[in-house]
Structure 1
Amino acid sequence: MTCYDRRDLGLLLLRLATGGVLAAHGAQKLFGWFGGHGIEGTGQFMESVGYRPGRTSATAAGLAEMGGGTLLALGLATPAAGSAAAGAMGGAAAVHAPNGFFNQEGGYEYAATLGLAATGLAVAGPGRLSLDHALGHAVDRGWMVPLALGATAAVTAVVVGTRNQRLRKDERAEQATLFDDQEPLLGE
């Protein structure tokens, strides 16, 4: 096996693992498969962590994970697939970031790893053992990589930024309500 063949096999394994995990998580969100909560349950969770409207956010995350993961596993439209998956993982990492890095503490380690693997595949390409290669790289051109990653980064920044602003506003409103509910001290 030549070095080039090893690279292709390595990319195939990385695509199958990363894409498969992402697709399974997307199926949990969209359909409730594999112990997931489906659109309704995931939408309620999304609302609780500041992604509103929750149902729309659950659908977008589920499609990015399931669609991006499936396409990554197949090695089809790799720049767009990797970018979509990376964007979804950026949104997930934002939820887990307050808990630190490690997953066992609820941190962002897992989401960051999947997001970086998806980004790496978008940049490196799918290798010869892929549908992109079989189709002559019609939807895997070099110029597509920075375009897909740039567009996804911009959209993710807006979505996460809006969520963070909403959470700060909700926190201020909650603090104001708590302050208003306090009993006046004697002598006031």
Structure 2
Amino acid sequence: MPWFDSLKDHGLLWMRVALGLSFVAHGWPKLAGGQERWEQVGSAVSHIGIDFGHLAFGLAAAGTELIGGMLLAIGLATRPVSFLLAFTMFVAMMMHISNDAGFVKISHPMELGIVFIGLLLMGPGRFSVDHRLK
């Protein structure tokens, strides 16, 4: 169905806005949770061999989800944000693997990471601030 090709940018817009708003909703409680929550979130990097800076990594993850979600939704800095969100999902996936959480728990961040890598490769599409800035 060739007419679907003309809807590619609409699909990218839909993915960006839906995922972006979802990550805003996930990032806000982490960011608002303060230092204790940042330390807890940041401790996930210990599952990839990083045993320092948990507070900073937690703050970075919460900020990436909240601010990155906003940027993703409007299509600004889409590729760098997609990279950061993919990395955040990689850390979450590794944490679940290390905790023997089971496939259902592991697959969620894995699937989101795959989508973010796709956005990294494809870009934001025509309906984005990034496209307007070209």
1:125 aligns with 2:123: yes
The alpha carbon displacement at 1:8 in A equals: 1.0
State the AA in 2 paired with 1:133: H
Residue 17 of structure 1 is matched in structure 2 by: 18
Residue 135 of structure 1 is matched in structure 2 by: 133
Residue 32 of structure 2 is matched in structure 1 by: 31
Bigger Rg, structure 1 or 2: 1
The alpha carbon displacement at 1:123 in A equals: 0.8
Q: How many corresponding residue pairs? A: 126
Residue 144 of structure 1 is matched in structure 2 by: none
Q: Deviations over 1:60-81 (max 9, x none)?
A: 1112222322221111111101
Structure 1 runs (4+) greater than 2 angstroms displaced: 2-5, 44-54
Residue 101 of structure 1 is matched in structure 2 by: 103
Which is richer in helix?
A: 2
What 5-or-longer segments of structure 2 have no aligned partner? none
TM-score of the two chains, using structure 1 as the length reference: 0.60
The alpha carbon displacement at 1:48 in A equals: 7.8
Q: Deviations over 1:64-108 (max 9, x none)?
A: 2223222211111111010011011111111111223212xxxx1
Whether contact under 8 Å (1:16, 1:74) holds in the other structure is yes
Q: Secondary structure at the match of 1:76?
A: coil
